[in-house]
Amino acid sequence: MRKIVLKCRLGWFMALVLVSILMLGAPTPAPAQTKAPAPAGQIVWKMDSMWPPNDPETLSLMQAANEILEYSEGRLKIEIYPSFSLRLNPTTACTNMRDGLTEIANLWVQLVEGQEPSFSVTEAFGIWTSKEQVGKAVDALIPFKKKVYTEVWKSHYLTTKFMAVQMNGQYSNTRELRTLEDFKGFKTRVPGGRQQEIFKAIGAAPVVMPLGDVYLSLKTGVIDGVSSSSKQVIFSKWYEVIKNGMEGIVCEAGAQDIVVSGKAWDALPNDLKEIVTTVFESVHQRTKAMAVNPGMSNLWRRQSEAKGVKYFELPAQDLAKFKEVCWKTHDDFIRNAPPRTKEAWDIIKPILGK
């Protein structure tokens, strides 16, 4: 019995470590707030979400929830719980939905990769040639996702929400990142997973730590830089301790699926289903445009440059070498993947010319 308890505690500890690594600088989750009693007849759905309250990802979800409340004349309310303040295990979000622990969820496919690796095939660091290409791949995978959510996870797929930023990069407080040689021995914080393998392969020294620790670690020299996005440079005020940046070496989907538990969806009247479907489909189109359109998705880089961050681009020859490393890492991932993941990869690889 003692061994079982210890294993349970260890499992939860590892889950919390993974969340702290992946969360984009979100503050420590606040206790879930006590909500006012729902009016008679009102349906309430709770949504657990990883993003902090002031993040654009949360604000777009809140806008959708407000629209649904208004269009349904108060009959359906979606309560957003930022920073995982609903206190469910985010790495088991698929089973949380299947088992009815939450009615609706904003699932970052990278975070639930342990349960459903097939959805993370679009989160392939460094292999994409453009943001538009990533957008096509995410759209191509939607029919497959609908089927898997229904048949495997007993949930209803609504839409895929794109993150506000698709283009990731490297940011440094110690050196100008101009070539791959500049990464030799470069201590950079990475979110873990396949990025660790990639940066080790080019001679860097990747470090895994919670994103909330990055600011002080950059300031004190514990790390030389960080793998993230210009959006995070602004929101975490890294521009105070970062001098240089390089973008274009890592482009990923940043896909977040909006999914409703099958039980909650089946209980919803048809007119409310139509409202929910329409609102979240508009979220897909709006966030995709913001992620793909250069004038919108490059907003955070322009703001970082205004704060004094100087950007460089890898020479074409070095970028080609880097992509070779990324492709090898991704090919290894697919080669050892379960059948459903290979099925998902077969859907999107023609978009990459494979």
Q: So what's the pLDDT on residue 46?
A: 96
What are the tokens at 91?
Answer: 């790495």
Q: What is the residue-averaged pLDDT of the chain?
A: 85
**What is the 8-class DSSP label of residue 54?**
T
Distances (CA, A) of 203 to 194, 200, 243: 15, 5, 21
Tokens 């606040």 sit on residue: 30
Q: Is residue 190 part of a domain?
A: yes
Rounded Cα distance between 209 and 133, Å, is 30
Q: Are residues 206 and 175 in the same domain?
A: yes
Question: Which tens digit of pLDDT belongs to each residue from 217-239?
Answer: 999 999 999 998 888 898 889 99
Structure tokens belonging to residue 334: 């697919």
Task: Show Cβ contacts of residue 277 under 8 Å, excluding neighbours closer than 6 positions.
Answer: 158
Between residues 11 and 209, the one the model is more confident about: 209
Q: Per the domain annotation, does 148 fall within a domain?
A: yes
Q: Tokens 């979240």 label which residue?
A: 280
Question: Model confidence over 172-184: pLDDT tens digits?
Answer: 998 999 999 999 9
Q: How many domains does the structure of the chain reveal?
A: 2
Tell whether 238 and 319 lie within a shared domain.
Answer: yes
* CA dihedral sign of residues 171, 173, 179, 185: negative
8, part of any domain = no
Look at residue 200 and tell me whether its pLDDT is greater than 50.
yes
- 105 belongs to a structural domain: yes
CA–CA separation, 330 vs 252, rounded Å? 13
Angle (deg, nearest 10), helices 142-151 and 339-348: 160
CB-CB neighbours of 122 under 10 Å: 25
In angstroms, the CA 226 to CA 240 distance is 14
Which whole number is the average pLDDT over 93-107? 92
- Strands 255-261 and 155-162, how do they pair? antiparallel
Same-domain check for residues 307 and 227: yes
Distance separating alpha carbons of residues 198 and 210, to the nearest angstrom:
19
Q: Which amino acid is at 147?
A: K
Q: pLDDT value at position 12?
A: 38
Instruction: Answer whether residue 153 shows pLDDT above 90.
Output: yes
Same domain (yes/no): 104, 248: no
Quick one: 44 and 124 in the same domain? yes
Domain assignment of residue 16, yes or no: no
64 within a domain of the structure (yes/no): yes
Residue 1 within any structural domain of the chain: no
More reliable by pLDDT, 30 or 245: 245
Q: Residue 15 falls within a domain, yes or no?
A: no
Residue 148 sits in the same domain as residue 172? no
Rg (CA), the chain: 20
Cross-strand bridge partners of residue 45: 78
Give 105 or 111, the one with higher predicted confidence. Answer: 105
CATH number of the domain residue 279 falls in:
3.40.190.170
Q: Are 234 and 165 in contact (CB under 8 A)?
A: no
Range of the domain at 81: 24-163+253-296
Are residue 70 and residue 213 in the same domain, yes or no?
no
Please check whether residue 137 is in contact with residue 351, taking contact to mean a CB–CB distance below 8 angstroms: yes
Question: pLDDT tens across 70-98, in order?
Answer: 999 999 999 999 988 999 998 899 999 89
Same domain, 287 and 310: no
